Structure 1
Amino acid sequence: MRDMTMVTNAHKANGASTIPLIPLTPEQELTTRIRLAQALQMSLDPAEVLNLFYTHIQAIVSLSGILFKFGNGSSELKIGRECLHHCDYRLTTDEGYLGEIIFSRSKRFAEAELITLEFLLSSLIYPLRNAIRYQTAMRLALLDPLTLLGNRAALDTALRRELQMAERHQHELSLLMVDVDFFKKINDEYGHHRGDLVLCEIAKGIQSACRGSDITFRYGGEEFVVVLGKTDAEGAKIIAERIRQQIAESHIKYNGKTIDTTVSIGIATRHSNEKEHINDLFERADKALYIAKNSGRNCVISSDEILIKS
């Protein structure tokens, strides 16, 4: 194992490192750099950038696998398989730590191969940094900055995907619309700052009451939406009731004061034998929520129940 730190500076042309020896001919060096640069600029997906890098360097240094650990510790990307021998590199730019990349194979690395890998890494760092930046920006663009839940743009994308999956595999899909009861009164009595605190706590409460596969979004204002994949009306009612109880039993404390809140929830379910547009699903959930708000609040109403009663 070889543990090294590779530092590059933005003012160096083409991300070139300070490695003094390259075990390639000048022609090979130029050809390799051009080929890698062209390939790595084809994507802004970190996984794809690493896959392209792995594929293109195989002809120069044989590898069994690559493992990349993101600098923020959030996740890892693995390509190929892990073997006994490996060499590790910390990838750092003048802007900060990108992460750690580990090359692996069954045969020990020769010194000349390590020098070549270091040369090749100099072509990877900036495309990988750009891809990570882009991915981070895209992720932030889909987050509600207050609650850190998905925003409406993220909801539209997720719901469209979930509906397509439900139709393709004939699964049921349910949607919960959750509205905080008397939220204007909370803002008027405690101030908008504490109102924001209430929304954050409710977002946490909704997530804690849901399953790992359920996806929660802030729809706007004091409204939240939960997408329940592979969930029928009965299952949705159970989860919605769990959310209602979770919020009703929570007591939000701030500066010695306790703020009690409740929510009203409307449910709409796309049944496995039906084809339904996203807007129709929302309209039914919204109608069920409206009835819940006009039935005393702090309750759960399903659009299926409305159809039965009517």
Structure 2
Amino acid sequence: MTLTQGNTIDFDSARLKLSQGTSLAGTQPVQTSELSLDAVKDRLTQQLQTSLEIDRILEMFFQELRNFLGLDCLEYRLDGNGLHQRIGQPGLHRCSYRMTHAGSFLGEIVFSRKKRFSESQLLALETLLGNLLYPLRNALLYREAVFCAHSDSLTGVGNRLAMDRTLDREIKLSIRHCSSLSALVLDIDYFKQINDQYGHACGDEALKAVVNCVRGCLRDVDELFRAGGEEFVILLSDTPASDARLVAERIRSAIEGMQFQQHGDSIPITASLGVATRQLDEGVRELLERCDKLMYSAKRSGRNRIGIQ
């Protein structure tokens, strides 16, 4: 039978515990290994300030608690942010904490091990969680800042900066591993007419609807970027030309079949796509230029089409 103990810990309270040391509730200092609680706190204070990467911070935190309290597993989850990390193998006995600070939810952390936790060990866990406060909060803020810097504010997909960096990286990987790399350039047909007839707010909703539609046609490893306006770039790693064409047709068909409505009006949306697979010694600029040309060729051929070589 699994023992699960759940708690909500406010990091403001945890910080108070941290400042009070180990004399909380009249308890004696906890020492379950060669290290004292104060020594572990000092080590954590030094180590957790050396990184802004959440996975690295949690790894360092787990290693210290494993040595000190014999933990077998740490699980961290922040739903809505796509964060879920597990370190180690879950044990029979668990205790979980929903962490908050200044009214903000910082996620849920679950500790587990084979042996039951004693009251003094649970107190030590809660005290040491106070050391996680600022490193975890700063890592979450850093992650959000990086996301915002690389994301289109309207649609949430990667922006031009993210696209350039990802393309450069993927082309280097393609060269190194001799793997196929395909790209799609997608442009929404007659988008200006949607803006002119229904307003820019409707145009914004149309962009978001197209993004959601395209995402539903892609693998988790595929990348979607907004290059500007109504133009998007899709990057398909390790994908040969034949498969890229199938993906492009799936996207084109899905967009055409969308049921997009605004104020009771059904608004038809289609897109034209250019598909290209990286050729030998071809760089980022050359690959995108070929995609662009093929996309405009599809436009000239009547729109709602795929331009391929």
Q: Same fold (TM over 0.5)?
A: yes
The structure-2 alpha-carbon separation of the partners of 1:205 and 1:4, relative to structure 1 and needing over 3 Å to count, comes to closer
For 2:64 and 2:115, locate their aligned partners in 1 and report how far apart those are by CA, in whole Å.
20
**Secondary structure of 2:108's partner?**
strand
Q: Would you say the 8 A contact 1:216–1:224 is kept in 2?
A: yes
Unaligned runs of 5+ in 2: none
The residue aligned with 1:298 is 304
The structure-2 alpha-carbon separation of the partners of 1:98 and 1:16, relative to structure 1 and needing over 3 Å to count, comes to farther
The answer as to 2:101 corresponding to 1:98 is no
For 2:80 and 2:231, locate their aligned partners in 1 and report how far apart those are by CA, in whole Å.
31
The residue aligned with 2:157 is 149
The structure-2 alpha-carbon separation of the partners of 1:12 and 1:53, relative to structure 1 and needing over 3 Å to count, comes to closer
- Note the aligned Cα RMSD (angstroms): 2.5
What code does the residue aligned with 2:288 have? F
**Secondary structure of 1:209's partner?**
coil
For 2:220 and 2:207, locate their aligned partners in 1 and report how far apart those are by CA, in whole Å.
21
Deviates more, 1:276-285 or 1:6-15: 6-15
Pairwise mapping of residues 1-310 of structure 1 onto structure 2 (< 5 A)?
1-9=4-12, 16=19, 19-20=24-25, 21=27, 23-24=29-30, 28-70=36-78, 72=80, 74-271=82-279, 274-302=280-308, 305=309
For 2:285 and 2:196, locate their aligned partners in 1 and report how far apart those are by CA, in whole Å.
33
Unaligned runs of 5+ in 1: 306-310
For 2:240 and 2:7, locate their aligned partners in 1 and report how far apart those are by CA, in whole Å.
53
**Secondary structure of 1:171's partner?**
coil
For 1:33 and 1:212, locate their aligned partners in 2 and report how far apart those are by CA, in whole Å.
39
CA offset digits 1:26-80 (Å, max 9, x no partner) = x945443332111001111111111111122334222111111226474321111
Q: Would you say the 8 A contact 1:23–1:115 is kept in 2?
A: no
The structure-2 alpha-carbon separation of the partners of 1:160 and 1:33, relative to structure 1 and needing over 3 Å to count, comes to same
For 1:93 and 1:284, locate their aligned partners in 2 and report how far apart those are by CA, in whole Å.
50
CA offset digits 1:258-309 (Å, max 9, x no partner) = 22122111112114xx23211111111112122222222221112xx2xxxx
Q: Would you say the 8 A contact 2:37–2:124 is kept in 1?
A: no
What code does the residue aligned with 1:23 have? P
Deviates more, 1:10-19 or 1:291-300: 10-19
The structure-2 alpha-carbon separation of the partners of 1:145 and 1:73, relative to structure 1 and needing over 3 Å to count, comes to closer
The residue aligned with 1:308 is none
The structure-2 alpha-carbon separation of the partners of 1:11 and 1:80, relative to structure 1 and needing over 3 Å to count, comes to closer
Q: Would you say the 8 A contact 2:40–2:68 is kept in 1?
A: no
- Superposition deviation, residue 213 in structure 1: 3.3
Q: Would you say the 8 A contact 1:22–1:119 is kept in 2?
A: no
Q: Would you say the 8 A contact 2:18–2:127 is kept in 1?
A: no
The aligned length equals 300
For 2:118 and 2:130, locate their aligned partners in 1 and report how far apart those are by CA, in whole Å.
19
Deviates more, 1:248-257 or 1:43-52: 248-257
Q: Would you say the 8 A contact 2:30–2:120 is kept in 1?
A: no
What code does the residue aligned with 2:105 have? Y
- Superposition deviation, residue 248 in structure 1: 2.2
For 2:195 and 2:7, locate their aligned partners in 1 and report how far apart those are by CA, in whole Å.
54
For 1:55 and 1:67, locate their aligned partners in 2 and report how far apart those are by CA, in whole Å.
13
Please list every run of at least 4 consecutive aligned residues from structure 1 whose deviation after the TM superposition is greater than 6 angstroms: none
Q: Would you say the 8 A contact 1:17–1:122 is kept in 2?
A: no
TM-score (structure 2 length as normaliser) = 0.88
For 1:270 and 1:239, locate their aligned partners in 2 and report how far apart those are by CA, in whole Å.
16
Q: Percent identity?
A: 39
For 1:53 and 1:40, locate their aligned partners in 2 and report how far apart those are by CA, in whole Å.
7
The structure-2 alpha-carbon separation of the partners of 1:42 and 1:175, relative to structure 1 and needing over 3 Å to count, comes to same
For 1:154 and 1:73, locate their aligned partners in 2 and report how far apart those are by CA, in whole Å.
19
- Superposition deviation, residue 11 in structure 1: 11
Deviates more, 1:119-128 or 1:72-81: 72-81
TM-score (structure 1 length as normaliser) = 0.87
